[in-house]
Amino acid sequence: MASELCLLAFLTVVESVRLSLGKRGNLVGGPCLALSLLLSVPSVLGALYFLLWQTYVLRLDWVLAAAQAALLALQALLAVVAIASAATAK
């Protein structure tokens, strides 16, 4: 239980930094978007932990973790598209 709370606190920090970098990268471009994409990896792993490997998983936990993983995958895909379009525009 304590390890899951530590993971949740870690993911809260990672998500807030990732979203801040993604917002800044979307507005001005540059390496912020790539860093946001890189921080998507621990976020997806955390969502998968809460989806699959958590000690006791309620149905609501499963639904919320699946939605988080799906939204993270969509955000990562859109970040790759934005990086590719910015690279071809230069």
Q: What is the pLDDT of residues 6-46, one digit of tens each?
A: 999 999 999 999 999 999 988 887 789 999 999 999 999 99
Region 43-67: what's the mean pLDDT?
Answer: 92
- Predicted confidence (pLDDT) per residue in 80-89, tens digit: 999 999 888 8
pLDDT at 26: 85
CA within 13 Å, CB half, 67: 6
In angstroms, rounded to a whole number, what is the distance separating the alpha carbons of residues 62 and 51?
Answer: 5
In angstroms, rounded to a whole number, what is the distance separating the alpha carbons of residues 67 and 11?
Answer: 16
In angstroms, rounded to a whole number, what is the distance separating the alpha carbons of residues 60 and 58?
Answer: 5
